Amino acid sequence: MKIYLKFDFNTICKSVLDQKLGEKGWKYRIVSFGEVEFLEQIPKEQMKELTESLNEYGIEIIENQKSALVQKIKDVIYDMVFSEKDVHVKASVYLAEKLNHSYGYLSNLFSEVTYTSIENFIIMQKIDYAKQLIVNDKLTLTEIAYRLNYSSVAHLSTQFKNTTGITPSQFQKIIAKRRELANMK
């Protein structure tokens, strides 16, 4: 038997943080996604233990200010792309407003640290989400294009093909064929 899951990274991460930080009995508050403020001094040895404990879940503590801002950029992009609410505004405006920096500064910093552009990162996230929506939600390509803020299905299809090498329709057929084969077993 096979089941398909849909999950929220923000909720999972917050739960892990609450669990791990709660185990230590520390006073803290989660300021925003990816940002925790400790309300007391934490000894280095215990911080090292926390770092190791969080690494098991793929959560990394960031020490460098530039890397921290790049992570915030990624978090805002995840929120923008994977949000259940419609975010139909230009990514540059959305990022600048959310992070209180000019888009030019954010773009240059992101490229410097990650060696890719914000635009490419957004496209990759949108295509990953489009694949999830095709697999899980049985939405039409028109609905997916609208949800991901594409101007048309053709625009979505072009970026999908440039990223994956196949069109969304071909991807849908592959998923349908896999399900058919799985049901035959």
**pLDDT tens sequence across 116-143:** 999 999 999 999 999 999 888 678 899 9
Residues of the chain with CATH 1.10.10.60: 122-184
Give yes or no for residue 8 having a pLDDT over 80: no
Lowest-pLDDT range, 25-29, 96-100, 121-125? 25-29
Tell the burial category of 21 from Cβ atoms under 10 Å away from its Cβ (0-12, 13-18, 19+): buried
Q: What is the pLDDT of residue 1?
A: 65
- Fold annotation for 122-184: Arc Repressor Mutant, subunit A (1.10.10)
Nearest of 1, 2, 6, 3 to residue 139 by alpha carbon: 6
Count CB neighbours of 101 within 10 A. Answer: 16
Instruction: With cut-offs at 50, 70 and 90, classify the pLDDT of residue 74.
Output: very high
Give yes or no for residue 145 having a pLDDT over 70: yes
